[in-house]
Amino acid sequence: MLVGSGILGKAGGILTRLGFDTRPIMVTNARVMRLHGHALLASLENAFGPIPVIRIGDGERFKSHATLAKIYEGLFRAGADRCSWIIALGGGVVGDTAGFAAATFMRGIPYVGVPTTLLAQVDSSVGGKVGINIERGKNLIGAFHQPRAVLSDTETLRTLPARELTSGLFEVVKCGAIRSEPLLGYLEKKLAAILDCESSAIAHVSREAVRIKAEVVAGDERDVHARMHLNFGHTVGHALEAATAYRRFKHGEAVAWGMIAAAEFACDVSGLRTDEARRLVRLIQRIEKLPSLRGIPAERVWRALQRDKKSSGGRIRMVLLPRLGSAEVCDGLDPARIRRFLANFLARGCPH
């Protein structure tokens, strides 16, 4: 994984030095293409010749079977075969969907990630999880398919809308919550500089989040033990996304609500101190005023939570914090207790 400024304009040379010698097919969306695609294309075409481009929709609801089919069709039209490869330019929706297309086209072809959002740079581009959403839930159809390379140009973060930047920052908060209390302290101290995309501050939290996730993934690529800690906030977060048809929340915002819920629940279940839970909630609330939970039916969230892929044999698993900087997987939680908690949490909108 390469992280730095100005990487888009050097991508062609970087990839040829890494051994790529045939032209890629680019997958992106219209907005990212307008902002960053031409710089990347110029570099790629200088190295590989004309590059076919497949444009998909922008937003979580486009992480779907229909979009996957569109990518397959674009690959066939471009004459792709088992020697072809994909370069995915964009945020998590582009990376996850194009990566799943790469995992399944002709039984698997390589892909390279070029993440352009903070969320994608610190989270979805690391670890090789690719997939799509269905009505029943988020990421229920997918695969493990590691990218051959990830090129993260930090200059792309300067073009992000504020809401996209903060959505990614919530995943950085997650990494601190499960593995690094000092990272939480840095976020608290340097939040204004980070939100202003001050170079050294944003680079520091990005590197730390990637380091934490890479360390966890290296020890558990298939998500059966410690890697599950990276799902902190995601059990309730994914359920909120599914219950609102992926339209109300950015992914990071849903995870933020999920972390708030998990922190409150952990005070009763895993012994997290109330002052530590409040510290985490205060940091989340300083980053962004989250979209409201108003009007979301508790029963719909409960059904989505039961379908979450982290559940097993009818048992609900949640990642909870015994203390800030440490996480544990709690298995076999009492469903009735979780259901009551969810109903009360949604009714209140936030913890006391």
pLDDT at position 225, please?
A: 64
* Closest of 50, 60, 3 to residue 25, by C-alpha: 50
Domains defined along the chain, listed by start: 2-158 (3.40.50.1970), 175-348 (1.20.1090.10)
Q: Are 309 and 191 in contact (CB under 8 A)?
A: no
pLDDT at 127: 83
Q: What is the pTM of this model?
A: 0.82
Residues 55, 167: Cα–Cα separation, whole Å: 23
What are the structure tokens assigned to 244, written together? 């609102």
CB 166 within 8 A of CB 287: yes
Backbone angles phi, psi at 221, to 5 degrees: -60, -35
Mutual orientation of helices 298-306 and 335-348 as an angle, nearest 10°?
140
Tell me the C-alpha distance between 252 and 192, whole Å.
19
Give the span between the Cα atoms of 287 and 295, in whole angstroms: 23
Contact (Cβ atoms closer than 8 angstroms) between residue 125 and residue 147: yes
Report how far residue 184's alpha carbon sits from residue 174's, in angstroms, rounded to the nearest whole number: 9
Question: Rounded CA gap, 156 and 252, in Å?
Answer: 18
Distance of CA 226 to the CA centre of its chain: 18
Query: Which is it for strands 129-134 and 2-4: parallel, antiparallel or unpaired?
Result: unpaired
DSSP secondary structure letter of residue 89: E
Quote the pLDDT of residue 198.
87
In the numeric block, the tokens 């839930």 are attached to 137
- Written as six digits, the tokens of 159 are 């073009």
Contact 42, 71 (CB under 8 A): no
Q: Average pLDDT by consecutive 10-residue portion of the chain (352 residues)?
A: 88 97 97 97 97 95 96 98 97 96 97 95 88 87 94 91 94 96 97 90 88 84 74 94 91 96 93 96 96 94 81 76 94 89 88 50
Task: Give which of 316, 343, 132, 137 is closest to 242, Cα–Cα.
Answer: 137
Identify whether the C-beta of residue 319 lies closer than 8 Å to the C-beta of residue 327: yes
The pair of structure tokens assigned to 190 is 């340097």
| Helix 162-179 vs helix 181-195: crossing angle, to nearest 10 | 170
| Residue type at 47 in one-letter notation | A
